[in-house]
Amino acid sequence: MRGQLERDFERFKRELPPDPAAHIREAYRIDLTARYLGYTLAHPIGKGSGQLSLNTEQIETDRAAGLAFVVLKTVIAEDSVGERSMGAWAIHETRMRVEPRASHTGREGWTVTWKGRGWDRSFEEYLALVRLSADLTRAGGMVVVPSVKYHLPRLDEPFRDAEYRYTTERLAAAWGADELPLEKDFSPTLAGDPLADERPQILRWLREVPGQIRSGAGGTKVRLAVKLMNARFDESFQLEMLEACSNADALVCFNRLWDPALRAAYGGYDLSDRNLQVLQTARPRPLPPLVGTGNICSGRMLLNYARLGCESVELHTFFQLPLSQYAALAGTRTQRALHALLFHPQEGLVAGMLELEAERQLERRNGELRFLDVVHPG
């Protein structure tokens, strides 16, 4: 199998197989079935909300590449007259800057910096994208889920119910089913906002926002993933955040770090080191299903998140590296990223699972290794 993996890695440099997960299951007897927000996925790799998921062309490109799921660019909630309490987040994106960033331990990783925040077009345009996303999801090729930033009140203020209700009802109508999948984004830029100065205020949001969203959905059930930020406080507060948001259907852990000197969010190995440490500490706690995010730059890093309970992962930066950083010689960045994440003979997901088998940390069931057995041993 090791020899075959090296041959596949070389062979697929020019073109991935049409269904990478099916090829891996047939060739290596490895079942990569994963989960995101209750959906069964062919493999655990998806794209997080951002500038790479804001139009039809990007979504179709990712579907053709074989990505498991995509979270749309985050829309800013509004009420029936178009008022948006978080309107300051609807800033047009400047050009994204992809650059190396060394961690405090000296490991060289990558980060992406841009000044924009949320969706800056009309809500009607976003709803059209949601309708397309619902069609693709129901067709079964790839799961595509909308993302929203709603009103976040100060500690002594009420929630703006009208904003929650209008936005959620319109999204549910566009989705067109009895159940709306949705990701609530707690942006990393909140770490640099006065709103996020007080711990009790953050914990109130996490406890109450899921209920606000669900109550605003009318008769539609909301299946809710909450994407948690890295707050500016210590790791123990990250654990409090996890526990405060236990009424979500999934938790995405955790969005990027905040650099107060640069006034920008960032990633790299500092981010994954912190995220994995928090998830390790949280491991015994009863939590909703987890989704990993943060510096997922290899299949081996993906497995680090999986072994701490993450049933799938969201990437963003790894889909934007300079082409010279990918071993693949052709294809879109999504295809080149999947080639590296799945098939790299040392750092890929297949290699990592075979290694776990060799170390007797993962056993075959009915002749197969299963990704979800990494997440939930036994």
Q: Is 369 helix (H, G, I), strand (E, B) or coil?
A: strand
**Main-chain phi, psi angles of 312, to 5 degrees:** -165, 175
- Per the CB < 8 A criterion, the answer to whether 150 and 213 are in contact is yes
pLDDT in tens, 198-235: 889 999 999 999 999 999 998 899 999 999 999 888 89
Q: Could you tell me which residues come within 8 angstroms of residue 193 by beta carbon, excluding any fewer than 6 positions away?
A: none
The tens-digit pLDDT sequence of the chain (378 residues) is: 889 999 999 999 999 999 999 999 999 999 999 999 999 999 999 999 988 999 999 999 999 999 999 999 999 999 999 888 777 666 666 567 889 999 999 999 999 886 656 788 999 999 999 999 999 999 998 999 999 999 999 888 999 999 999 999 999 999 999 999 999 998 755 655 677 678 899 999 999 999 999 999 988 999 999 999 998 888 999 999 999 999 999 999 998 888 877 777 888 999 999 999 999 999 988 999 999 999 999 999 999 999 999 999 999 999 999 999 999 999 999 999 999 999 999 999 999 999 999 999 999 999 999 999 999 997
Predicted pLDDT at 92:
63
Residues 6+ apart with CB under 8 A from 201: 154, 155, 195
Q: What's the pLDDT tens digit per position in 100-123?
A: 999 999 999 999 886 656 788 999
What DSSP designation does 91 have? Answer: P
pLDDT for the residue numbered 84:
85
Task: Give the other-Cβ count within 10 Å of 246's Cβ.
Answer: 14
DSSP E strand boundaries for the chain: 30-31, 34-36, 39-41, 45-47, 69-76, 97-102, 108-113, 143-149, 179-185, 221-227, 250-253, 257-259, 264-266, 290-293, 310-315, 369-370
pLDDT at 112: 87
- The two beta strands, 264-266 and 257-259, are antiparallel
- pTM of this structure: 0.95
| 100 contact partners, CB below 8 Å, separation of at least 6 | 108, 109, 110, 111
Confidence at residue 6, expressed as pLDDT on a 0 to 100 scale: 97
Q: Is 208 exposed, middle or buried (CB count within 10 Å of its CB: 0-12, 13-18, 19+)?
A: middle
Q: What is the pLDDT of residue 232?
A: 83
For residue 361, the 8-state DSSP code is: S
